[in-house]
Amino acid sequence: MITVTLPDNSRRTFASSISVKNVAKDIGTGLAKATIAGLVDGRQVDADFIIHSDARLTILTDRSPEGLFIIRHSTAHLMAMAVKQLFPSAQVTIGPVIADGFYYDFAFERPFTPEDLEAIEECMGELAKQDHVITREEWDRDEARDFFNSIGEDYKAEIIQSIPANETISLYRQGEFVDLCRGPHVPATGKLGVFKLTKVAGAYWRGDHNNEMLQRIYGTAWANKKDLKAYLHRIEEAEKRDHRKLNKKLDLFHFSDDAPGSVFWHPKGWTLFLQLLDYMRRRQEDAGYVEVNTPDVMDRSLWETSGHWFNYRENMFLTQTEDERIFALKPMNCPGSVSMFSQGLKSYRDLPIRMAEFGKVHRYEPSGSLHGLMRVRHFTQDDAHIYCTEEQMEQECIDVIDLVLDIYKDFGFEDVVIKLSTRPEKRIGTDEVWDKLENALSNALGVMGLDYVLYPGEGAFYGPKLEFVLRDAIGRDWQCGTLQVDMNLPERFDITYVDDTGGREKRPVMLHRALFGSLERFIGILIEHYEGAFPIWLSPDQAVVANITGEQIEYCKEITKSLRNKGFRVTSDLRNEKIGFKIREHSMSRVPFILVVGEREKDSRTVSVRSRDGTDLGKKTLDEVLYILEEGIKQLGRLDSSAE
């Protein structure tokens, strides 16, 4: 007898071994028809997987995140099947699932064209309608390697050759197409009717630029047409909101081959940058942080002590001096912060010490991965390191989480997903230490009543972490803030404090914390989230005063000076251009208010106020304009001190 326990803890007993799909059929025909795969004792398996002993089972359908993942995985294989049918000489390599979709890399003698993508997509539709049964087969490793060599699939054979000789290889067959894969997959191609191929890009084999260039076809797949339509709409909106395109109107920054991956901030962009910096300084000061600054270039020995030299060196910029000392541009601020803590004797009475730094860091990112403000090589972190006792650790975590979520609300981000990433295989420190650190984070979330998603094995090499994922105005997710707890770096750097018994060997716990993450990337996210129309408190220019003729120039200067003296960011547009041209230009650059001055406004000591959305607010006195700006700041964001 076999007992299968379902998610609601109900149990079903069977006389002998039974497949996942037959358990579903025993529950109901509707569920059996909807079954995609199963989760047996936490492991994803195919629908025809046989359960031989007592187990916990979750039936996966297209309504579950795991089910959607499997649909996308199977659709990647459906695409490979179509490519091989249309272009037999193409070789298939790898095809994983990514956020909202999938891709598959191919080796082919010529570039795929948009017409090719249309043909592949049409062929996929036909193959889905044919409802080919998908079956799993287990092969001997050498047998599988020889098979793929025999059909000209050299890349697959190379992958298999890298697998240990004693491992069983799983292949999946659908029609005449056979592919290497761990699975699981949907039961048949008929489950894969809702998809769209999106683009083709280049990709190096195994991600190594020394290897041959392949062609990567991207696609998306969904459970139903409504979800696909919504996704394609988000993609269309994302194209319109691309911060690189909007920047042409906003004039915030540029990039140059003279400094790949580094931002050249224009006056408006730098103003925006400084607003974020000032905002975070105020919030951190209110939360009991002190601000420090550490060097950008530090000796190799420091990075060896921290472990970065052995775990992160390929991403570091290095330089060597005449005396053969090797230095690195810092990729992270942590070692400099530890060095700061080590200066002078610390007592338990001094803890917690919350040490903040707006540190410039440098990380070597492959040129192909650079993407506007979102992926750069030189950026600024709103970093902080908190040194506390083990007893204070959980409360400090709670305080950081509370601060993070409150700050995100000021930018209009109410929908935040928290991810808890636990110990990776490649790590430093004992399991006992990792237990303490992981418990501190999970307990803090529990005390606050916050839900989180667990990501086993995704922590940093020195400690587990929380990641804060923001959902923007069009439903995209952005990972921004992090909180990491660490007892390993204090050990490696041998930092201590004097405890309440007078002992001088007590190790502090170190919390690593960033809220924006990278200021450059956060600005890119804000540009796209607001479509360039920043909250008034954050806008580089909060208003522009524009004259109609030369007769109003002096009055415009007077209005501008008066508003600037009140702490607002206001400029004048006194160019010899038509007023309609000025209004259109400043509306497109998303200035919140345009203050138009003609002869009647000059005579009445007023301005005509227009908002960036085209609303005519009528003639206003200077005091009324001040009130509009102040109220706008209160409504659209945090009231900054300059306007109080």
Asked whether the beta carbons of 421 and 469 are under 8 A apart, the reply is: no
Residue 185 appears among annotated catalytic residues: no
Residue tagged active-site, from 21, 275, 308, 334: 334
Please give the Cα distance from 103 to 96 (Å, whole number). Answer: 6
At residue 619 the predicted structure's pLDDT band, cuts being 50, 70 and 90, is very high
Q: Which residues contact 28 (CB under 8 A, 6 or more apart)?
A: none
Q: Which residues contact 314 (CB under 8 A, 6 or more apart)?
A: 364
**pLDDT tens digits, residue range 565-593?**
999 999 999 999 999 999 999 999 999 99
pLDDT of 641 higher than 80: no
**pLDDT tens digits, residue range 494-533?**
999 999 999 988 999 999 999 999 999 999 999 999 999 9
pLDDT of 8 higher than 50: yes
Residue whose token pair is 């889905």:
128
Average pLDDT of the chain? 93
Residue tagged active-site, from 191, 362, 363, 610: 363
Q: Which of 63-67, 541-545, 638-642 has the highest mean pLDDT?
A: 541-545
pLDDT value for 566: 94
Domains annotated on the chain, with CATH: 2-61 (3.10.20.30), 66-226 (3.30.980.10), 253-294+331-530 (3.30.930.10), 543-643 (3.40.50.800)
368: nearest Cα among 479, 235, 211, 250: 211
pLDDT value for 605: 96
Longest Cα–Cα distance of the chain, Å, equals 96
- Average pLDDT for 248-262: 95
pLDDT value for 617: 94
pLDDT value for 177: 96
pLDDT of 324 higher than 90: no
pLDDT value for 636: 46
Asked whether the beta carbons of 412 and 394 are under 8 A apart, the reply is: no
HSE-up (13 A, CA, CB side) for residue 71: 29
**pLDDT tens digits, residue range 24-65?**
999 999 999 999 999 999 899 999 999 999 999 999 999 999
pLDDT of 387 higher than 60: yes
CA distances from 55 to 10, 18, 42 (A): 12, 11, 10
Q: What percent of the chain has pLDDT over 70?
A: 98
Residue 362 appears among annotated catalytic residues: no
pLDDT of 640 higher than 50: no
Residue tagged active-site, from 44, 215, 275, 381: 381
Residue tagged active-site, from 383, 472, 486, 573: 383
N-to-C CA span, the chain? 74
At residue 368 the predicted structure's pLDDT band, cuts being 50, 70 and 90, is confident
Residue 465 appears among annotated catalytic residues: yes
At residue 643 the predicted structure's pLDDT band, cuts being 50, 70 and 90, is very low
pLDDT value for 638: 39
Residue tagged active-site, from 512, 569, 590, 612: 512
**pLDDT tens digits, residue range 218-252?**
999 999 999 999 999 989 999 999 999 999 999 99
Residue tagged active-site, from 77, 465, 513, 590: 465
Residue 334 appears among annotated catalytic residues: yes
pLDDT value for 637: 44
pLDDT of 377 higher than 60: yes
Please give the Cα distance from 618 to 202 (Å, whole number). Answer: 54
DSSP state at residue 463: B
CA distances from 606 to 397, 573, 586, 603, 627 (A): 52, 17, 20, 8, 14
Asked whether the beta carbons of 488 and 515 are under 8 A apart, the reply is: no
Asked whether the beta carbons of 415 and 423 are under 8 A apart, the reply is: no
Strand partners, 203: 214
pLDDT value for 635: 64
Residue 383 appears among annotated catalytic residues: yes
